[in-house]
Homo-oligomer: A and B are copies of this chain.
């Protein structure tokens, strides 16, 4: 069966994708037969989708990596995300009324991409196959978690001063792992980027916090010495 073999080739990769989490291998095969996805092959720097093109399917990177970039009204293109194997793209637009791709996806290295047609996902098949419920549940989870992440990002971006951003970030990290001692998951550049400030300015402020005895740190290892001061600083 040609179609089956077409997917069989990628079954290993597909079963790793978060969208298919909790679905049996046999069911995945059944799903693929039902969803009738298309597999696209791309060479390095090929365009996978173009911003503004008609949106029809959700994409899943089976092999390789790709960049998501967006062009603003002035024509400047900036990279927003790097997609790796197993990553999904276009999942937020799928269920909205948006009809075109909001961004461009370009192969960074040779890529294989699975496209699931937007319409087939909710399922027009009469019977609700058992896997279909899990599939939709996965979808809801993925989109929700994206929204939660964006919400968190908005919170950080809304904070005015660098000092307050750092304090908020450190408190949250510390709370998450439940310890005074934190190992930052980002290096200085990435952290500065995440908080949307310049690296030297951030370092300067961290230095001040250290001088004041609020925190201590060496590279990515940070220790909170004075929680109260940290809390006071994040408000204003």
Enumerate chain A interface residues (CB-CB to B < 8 A): 72-76, 92-98, 122-123, 127-128, 133, 136-137, 139-141, 143-148, 150-151, 153-154, 157-158, 160, 168, 171-172, 175, 196, 231-232, 234-235
B235 touches A72 (CB 8 A): yes
* Docked-complex contact B145 and A96, CB < 8 angstroms: yes
Q: What is the bound-complex CA distance between A70 and B113, given in angstroms?
A: 40
Excluding A92-B147, A93-B148, A122-B137, 20 further A-B contacts by CB distance (< 8 Å) are A72-B168, A73-B231, A74-B231, A76-B235, A92-B148, A93-B144, A95-B140, A95-B143, A96-B141, A96-B144, A97-B141, A97-B145, A122-B136, A123-B133, A136-B136, A139-B140, A146-B147, A150-B154, A157-B157, A157-B158
* A234 neighbours in B (Cβ, 8 Å): 72-74
What B residues does A97 contact at CB under 8 A?
Answer: 141, 145
Taking the closest CB of chain B, its distance from the CB of A230, in whole angstroms, is 8
Closest to A235 in B: B74
B128–A74 CB distance below 8 A: no
Chain B residues in 8 Å Cβ range of A141? 95-97
Bound form: Cα–Cα A14–B145 in Å: 27
A-B contact pairs, 6 of them (CB 8 A): A74-B231, A75-B235, A95-B143, A95-B144, A128-B128, A150-B154
Q: How far is the CA of A234 from the CA of B71 in the complex (A)?
A: 12
> Residues of B contacting A232 with CB < 8 Å?
74
When distances are taken between beta carbons in the complex, the residues of chain B under 8 Å from A148 are: 92-93, 96, 98
**Residues in B whose Cβ lies below 8 Å from that of A151:** 92, 150
Kindly list chain B residues whose C-beta atoms are within 8 Å of the C-beta of A175: 73
A143→B147 contact, CB < 8 A: yes
- Could you tell me the distance between the alpha carbons of A235 and B75 in the complex, rounded to whole angstroms? 8
The complex places the Cα of A146 from the Cα of B143 at a distance, in Å, of: 10
The smallest C-beta distance from A183 to any residue of chain B, in angstroms, reads 19
| Bound Cα distance A168, B76 (Å) | 12
